[in-house]
Structure 1
Amino acid sequence: MMQDAQRQSFFNESKPACPVRGHWVSFSLVNELGEGTAYGGLPYTVYDSAGQEYKGRLNAEGVAKLHNLFCGPVVLVFDDMYSGTEQPYQRLMLRSTYKLPITELQVRAEQTRFTVADGRRSESNPAQQKANRFYQVEVRDLVRHVAHLPPIAQRSHQPQRHALKMMGDLGFGPPQSNLAGVVLFPNNHTALEVRPLRAFRPMLSIEDDFCALNLYQLALMATLSYCNFGQEPPKKPQDQVRFPLDPSVGHLFAEQLSGFHEAWRFDAEQVQRFYPIYEEVPYSQRFEILPFDPELYPQNQPELGDKQEHPANLHFFDDEKLGTDTQAFITHHDEVILIAVRGTASAADGMRDANAHQVAFVEGVGKAHEGFYQAYCAMRNFVLRYLDQFYTGQRIIICGHSLGGAIALLLAEGLRRAPEGNYNILLYTYGSPRAADAEFTEGASTLVHHRIVNHNDPVPSVPAPWMNTTAKLWIPGAITLFSAPAPGGLLFAAGLVRLGGNPYRHHGEQHHFMPIMLPDGTQSSVLWKPGCESIQEAGCNRALQLHGDMPERDNLLKQLFQANQHFMTASYIPAAWATLRRWQQTQENNGPLITPREFELLDLALETMRQQLRNKRRELARLRPANDRSYEHSEALNTEIDRLYISRERLATLRWRRLEARDVYGSQAHSAHLQPTLKRWFSHRENHELSQVARIPPALHHEWGRAQTLDIDSIV
């Protein structure tokens, strides 16, 4: 009878071959080099066609063999939970919410590496020659709970999933409601190549000091905040979620980076490739998108209706109900919690931008821009709920562009003052308008904030120090100031009403991109800390040009024509990338941060600005009525002229400054991951080639360039 059973097909119309013993099966788990030592001693479970369970451990070479099984195929699973004490696994398995079902297999797979740098599978494996059957598998093929694991990568030798389903339909295999495991066929040795569980994450410095690494990386993250979360279905998911939309927040973190794919698109209209500097880490140390599994997590169950939790409402804030339309995302790993806040992208954003009325900053001191404060209040509880669940002492890094930078500042200061948290905040903003008054700025002096301004970007000019206003929003186009500055700016300015109050003041240490254009078309961009308002937007000069409560329209229009310098993919990201490349080259070559030629060009531009301020001072003195003693701006103008002189002195120091690795990479300067990470980054031709933006060719005697316009009237 046994011989007759063995001659039957393993599957007929009703069931497998008759349940008699006598079959054997052997299998091995190997890495991509065909070596099984990484899986030696790993516990396994096998279910045969009669539902009998067999437990054991792989030998030191990752091999096991079972005899005298019931006839037919068997199901192999590796579902034993991790029992060690290594971090971060214990923390992830025991945290208060969303405890992860991490298996021994997952931990072993995280300790293996890819043989190909980009994670592509090779077509051959030495173990394939020694086996009757060969499968390329992933951890999720061999365990029951898979929601926290990456999606399946492309493979040529996949296990026969239909065989597992047939065994389940016929009532054979493991007694579980869902199908798990890989089907092995009897009287065969099967080699299973387990894909390494490795992931990419953007490398970030957690030090207070400014570094070129964070400048570039966080510019990309701030840009990503404009994207959707990309979850399908976006609301009320039933059993699983996907993230097919590229680019989107969910697709980047849950699909590409967790699947060991380098991403470069952070804007739907982006053409030029900007790759973050990614470090390779064990999968459990990636930036996490939380799992969705209603069986494991009661808070995921669809029956909860509006109270149901899922990745989109845990990681992504998009407030439409309250009308602020604030958008942000949050994610974390064991060292960093990352928060990125979106800039202006809608009419509601524009209305909030235009509302410059001041209200009390309840969480601290001073007053804040009412529109920005409302947006911060809308997202505060969302952030605090996330921190309550997943904050374990990480550095909280917050970034934002434009309006997002202003909201990020209020959020950072609110969190810094939160009595329950003792949070350690690091803030980078790009093209941010002023968000609060002088009292707020002084009260937040210990908040670490690096504020980036690109050349003549108009947005950091508003609200001007003299504004405490509510815009007449019914004026057509007024709300477009930030989303489309050129057409909306004048109408916005026309609706201002003077109400008094403390002056608006920027917070944080300003870092300014100063570009140079040469006759042959090559460019350079120097990042420095000017320390004066004139470089950024010459606020006092604009205040001097007020007629009553109205700004000078022509000069405001000139500023708004620089609006292209406000956008991330067109200006801030290229300038940040150029700064990173320049600083890398400077540090590697132990050269000065700027060349003598560059200094002369920039110095000439600054002296031109200084002379313009002197001319403006003489003009005002000439036009001022003899009996007018109320004008208080002359002293401010003199102070600004002095500051501009100090700025020139600061620029001069760049001729002698030598950069250290920490200036470029911050806390990652001496990381063991840095060199292999940079090798991967430079493998992309966009980063490997020397860029004209990052470096200026040697000057010829007859060749003199000019600094790109740094004109007081064009900035104002």
Structure 2
Amino acid sequence: MGQDAWKQQFFNDQMPACALSGDWLTFCLVDTAGNGKSYGGLAYTINDSAGRQHQGRLNGEGFARVEGFFCGPVVLMLEDSYSGNAMPYQRLMTRADYALPITELQVRAEQALFPDQENLLVEPSPARKKADHFYQVEVSDLVRHSAHLPPISGSANRPMRHALKMMEQLGFGPPELFLDGLVLFPKKLTVLEVRPLRALRPVISTADQFCALNLYQLALMATLSYCEFGQDPPSGSEETVSFPLTPSIGNVFVEHLSCYREAWKFDSVQVQRFYPMYENAAYSRRFEILPFDPKLYERNHSAGENPQRLHFFNDAEFGTDTQAFICHHDEVVLVAVRGTASGADALRDADAHQVPFVEGVGKAHQGFHQAFQAMHNHVLDYLFRFHKDQRIVICGHSLGGAIALLLAEALRRNADRDYNPLLYTYGAPRAADSEFVAGASSLVHHRIVNHNDPVPSVPATWMNTTAKLWIPGAVALFSAPGPGGLLFAAGLVRVGGNPYQHHGEQRHFMPIKLPDGTQSSVLWKPGCESIQEAACNRALQLQGDMPARDNLLKQLFQASQHFMTASYIPAAWATLRRWQQTLESQGTLVTPREFEWIDRALERMGQQLRDKNRELDRRRPTNQRSHAHSHSQALSAEIDRLRTSRERLQSLRWRRLDARDVYGSHADAPHLQASLKRWFSHRENRELSQVASIPPPTLDDRGRAHTLDIDSIV
């Protein structure tokens, strides 16, 4: 009887399979260093060709010898459930939704490490020399349920999965019920090198305190929220799902990070590589994308639940087009909300009518509030099922930042659960009125504004109507250069309600270019609206009338300094590198040279405001000059705020950083040095760009005043 070519390596005409008993084999489980002690004592089950089971335990060196089974190949499995009391595993195994079938083998593999951070298994393996058969295997090869485990990674020494199929075709071997596991062959020593179950997870601080690490890491996560989830098939109609689309949310978390592969692309048009800082974590402590296994989880079958429906929210079908993703590990629940990406989003941005924020106090922008309401229940359902005291970290860019603010405040006010959200937003517009802002004062919100991003200037304080309003008396202020931008809304009438107001602690990224061409950057809290409002004035190019709302939004959202990959991510990366450099050198946040340059520029700006105030005073009729005018009051208030900005700048001149300023809650973490080593292994993170460098002082630049008026900032 001849054999097919692919079966020849297992059987031949002289040694067919038979049902005679008395055969033997030995096998060994080792780690990537060839050490079997990592797996010593594990229980195993062998199913032979007659369907009989042979059970035993590996010795202290990870070896086992099995005798007396029926002749032919056997199937090896190691699927005893984890019986320890480590809390992370107990929580995952006993949770009400998607309890995981964690085995003792999985826990051992999670304690093993890769020989290097490049995720390359040692070739050749030290254990390979003494083996008749040598395979590089994964935990999923040796257990029955593997949907919660990572996708199989490629290897030159993978076991041949068609061996199980071959046994079935030849009409012998274990019953079909047992056709899971790994095929071993008699009279052979088989060495199985088990791939470590390690994952990479982005390092995110859970501390209230602002840190440069979160500034950068969450900018990348906010950018990822613009991507599709990438699940194939999207409906989960098959027995398994995969995430082949790059970049996509599912691909980043499942195909890359769960497989111990670094991801750097978070936008389909991204060219420059931006690597997050990663922690080498046990697989069960990764950012989890929940498993899909209709045989194990009834909800996958009856309710049509799948990873995309659980982790991804996209309301395109119902009109708001709101999009966000949510995932978690044992310390953090991460929510990232997408910004403006469609015509429906732009219409929502323009709908500035105020409506009651029923989840708290005050009123909110109607368009942003509708988007928040669309996704609120989705987030609440996820938190009810998977939140176990983790810190809820929320981020969003542009429109996504406004929605994220309303979501974070609603969660903070949830009377049924003790949520404690931490919020980072990038280029977010005003989302609510002054009453809302006062009521949300306890919410920790770090609001990041780029130096010439016009979007944070809208909605203007007067916007509480969908109609176009203007008063001819505003023409002079609108058309005036420089300080005209400060009184963007002067003369306009707001129809009822409190004015729109920003929430959170603003941090302004301000790049500066010195006369010798040196570029630097300062991330600071200016405390005044001049810089921010001037950016809006520049974007609108006002010519004596208030523009139509659709034109206003079109100009705003085409501003290049509003985009994440072109602006906010490079700025956040530069700030992280700048602060790392400052921490290492024990320097100050602002060098004497930078302080002198910015301080003189702010002084010039203050003089512009005072000149404009005097000009407006001269324009008023003589009999009204003794009475305070709203324009004069607004300018005087801004002059005071500008004085505060100079005082804050002065404090930065002496401000020295500690590790928590840079790395937050991870400043003293055992993994920090290893995470930094991995991050700096990439050439992109070792080469300081000009914008991230601290400029050295020069003698010929001292005492020189530099031009910085309101328009020159943008």
Scaled by the length of structure 1, the TM-score of the pair is: 0.90
> What are the ranges of 5 or more consecutive residues in structure 2 without an aligned counterpart?
1-7, 470-488
Aligned match of 1:647: 645
Q: In the aligned structure 2, how far is the partner of 1:375 from the partner of 1:10? A: 61
| SS class of match (1:514) | strand
Q: Is 1:418 aligned with 2:414?
A: yes
Aligned match of 1:482: none
| SS class of match (1:345) | coil
Aligned match of 1:686: 684
Q: Is 1:277 aligned with 2:277?
A: yes
Q: Deviations over 1:218-259 (max 9, x none)?
A: 000000000100111112422110001111100011110000
Are the aligned partners of 2:212 and 2:663 in contact in 1 as well (CA < 8 Å)? yes
Q: Is 1:576 aligned with 2:577?
A: no
| SS class of match (2:699) | coil
Q: In the aligned structure 2, how far is the partner of 1:528 from the partner of 1:370? A: 31
Aligned match of 2:693: 695
Read off the aligned partner of 2:656 and give its amino acid letter. Answer: R
Are the aligned partners of 2:47 and 2:174 in contact in 1 as well (CA < 8 Å)? yes
Change (3 A) 1:541 1:344: closer
Q: Is 1:429 aligned with 2:425?
A: yes
Determine which of 656, 661, 664 is the counterpart of 2:662.
664
Q: Is 1:396 aligned with 2:392?
A: yes
Q: Is 1:613 aligned with 2:609?
A: yes
Aligned match of 1:250: 250
Are the aligned partners of 2:49 and 2:174 in contact in 1 as well (CA < 8 Å)? no
Aligned match of 1:486: none
Read off the aligned partner of 2:294 and give its amino acid letter. Answer: P
Q: In the aligned structure 2, how far is the partner of 1:89 from the partner of 1:214? A: 28
Aligned match of 2:154: 154
Change (3 A) 1:75 1:709: farther
Match runs of 1:425-504 below 5 Å: 425-470=421-466, 498-504=494-500
Aligned match of 2:218: 218
Q: In the aligned structure 1, how far is the partner of 2:161 from the partner of 2:546? A: 72
| SS class of match (2:259) | coil
Aligned match of 2:480: none
| SS class of match (1:250) | helix
**CA positional deviation for 1:699:** 3.9
Percent of residue pairs bearing the same amino acid type: 69
Aligned match of 1:234: 234
Aligned match of 1:88: 88
| SS class of match (1:654) | helix
**CA positional deviation for 1:119:** 1.1
Q: Deviations over 1:78-130 (max 9, x none)?
A: 11111111121110000010000111110000000001222112221111011
Aligned match of 1:30: 30
Q: Deviations over 1:276-325 (max 9, x none)?
A: 00000000000000000000111111xx4xx4100001000000232000
Q: What is the aligned-residue RMSD (CA, Å)? A: 2.8
Q: Is 1:386 aligned with 2:366?
A: no
Aligned match of 1:487: none
Q: In the aligned structure 2, how far is the partner of 1:132 from the partner of 1:291? A: 36
> What are the ranges of 5 or more consecutive residues in structure 1 without an aligned counterpart?
1-7, 474-492
Q: In the aligned structure 2, how far is the partner of 1:471 from the partner of 1:691? A: 46
Read off the aligned partner of 1:589 and give its amino acid letter. Answer: S
**CA positional deviation for 1:47:** 0.7
**CA positional deviation for 1:518:** 3.1
Change (3 A) 1:679 1:709: farther
Change (3 A) 1:228 1:10: closer
Read off the aligned partner of 1:513 and give its amino acid letter. Answer: F
**CA positional deviation for 1:65:** 0.4
| SS class of match (1:256) | helix
Change (3 A) 1:187 1:558: closer
Read off the aligned partner of 2:710 and give its amino acid letter. Answer: I
Q: Is 1:586 aligned with 2:585?
A: no
Match runs of 1:620-639 below 5 Å: 620-626=616-622, 631-639=629-637
Are the aligned partners of 1:595 and 1:655 in contact in 2 as well (CA < 8 Å)? yes
Are the aligned partners of 2:535 and 2:711 in contact in 1 as well (CA < 8 Å)? no
Q: Deviations over 1:198-225 (max 9, x none)?
A: 0000001101010011011000000000
Q: In the aligned structure 1, how far is the partner of 2:31 from the partner of 2:174? A: 26
Change (3 A) 1:140 1:171: farther
Q: Deviations over 1:160-196 (max 9, x none)?
A: 1111122234454444547421111110000000000
**CA positional deviation for 1:615:** 2.0
Are the aligned partners of 1:233 and 1:241 in contact in 2 as well (CA < 8 Å)? yes
Scaled by the length of structure 2, the TM-score of the pair is: 0.90
Aligned match of 2:482: none
Change (3 A) 1:625 1:166: farther
Aligned match of 2:530: 534
Change (3 A) 1:571 1:19: same
Q: In the aligned structure 1, how far is the partner of 2:602 from the partner of 2:29? A: 66
| SS class of match (2:55) | strand
**CA positional deviation for 1:704:** 7.7
Are the aligned partners of 2:201 and 2:286 in contact in 1 as well (CA < 8 Å)? yes
Q: In the aligned structure 2, how far is the partner of 1:168 from the partner of 1:290? A: 32
Read off the aligned partner of 2:678 and give its amino acid letter. Answer: R
Match runs of 1:82-121 below 5 Å: 82-121=82-121
Aligned match of 1:259: 259
**CA positional deviation for 1:608:** 2.3
Determine which of 345, 348, 351 is the counterpart of 2:347.
351
Q: In the aligned structure 2, how far is the partner of 1:707 from the partner of 1:557? A: 36
